[in-house]
Amino acid sequence: MTKLSAAGAAGHDAAAATPGGYSRMNRPVQPSAEARAPREIVIPRLLTVQDMAQALGVSMSAMYRALPVLADAGFPQPLPGLGKRWDPEAVAAWLASRRTAPPAPPPAPPAAAPEDDIATWQRLLDGRAADIAGA
């Protein structure tokens, strides 16, 4: 803060000076009552390597080894300036985008009538017997 004389300085008159000799212009501006009202600040819990390793059921060393591979696959980068900390919503969105539906079970073969199986085997055996007899 700059201290002014009672006579003032260029651009300031003596009436604007406070009893302590400080210009009203140099006083800190007080925020309005609305600005002073408490605001709720929501800070999400950020994920560490340990948190992610624990959630995925792997060791921390395995998680550290996997990070470069995951980054190549589009895994979110750590938040800048916060060390190795990730936004949990970004990680959850990436995991959800990688999740695929479980494969559908193969269709069941059509049920064959027992007579059809017997007839098929009988034809195969008769053909094989004829091949052996002809050899």
Q: Has residue 132 been placed in a domain?
A: no
Domain assignment of residue 53, yes or no: yes
Question: pLDDT, tens digit, for every residue of 5-32?
Answer: 444 444 444 444 455 555 556 666 666 6
Rounded Cα gap, residues 77 and 72, in angstroms: 10
> How many domains, in total, are found in the chain?
1
On whether residue 25 sits in a domain, the answer given is: no
Angle, to 10 degrees, between the axis of helix 60-72 and the axis of helix 49-56?
90
CA distance between the termini of the chain: 116
Any domain includes 38: no
Between 56 and 8, name the one with better pLDDT: 56
Residue 135 counted as domain residue: no
pLDDT at 1 over 50: no
Report how far residue 95's alpha carbon sits from residue 73's, in angstroms, rounded to the nearest whole number.
11
Range of the domain at 58: 49-98
Residue 15 lies in a domain: no
Alpha helices by DSSP H, 12-87: 33-36, 49-56, 60-72
109 inside domain: no
Residues 61-111: pLDDT tens digits? 998 998 999 888 888 888 888 788 888 888 888 888 887 777 788 887 776
Q: Is residue 75 part of a domain?
A: yes
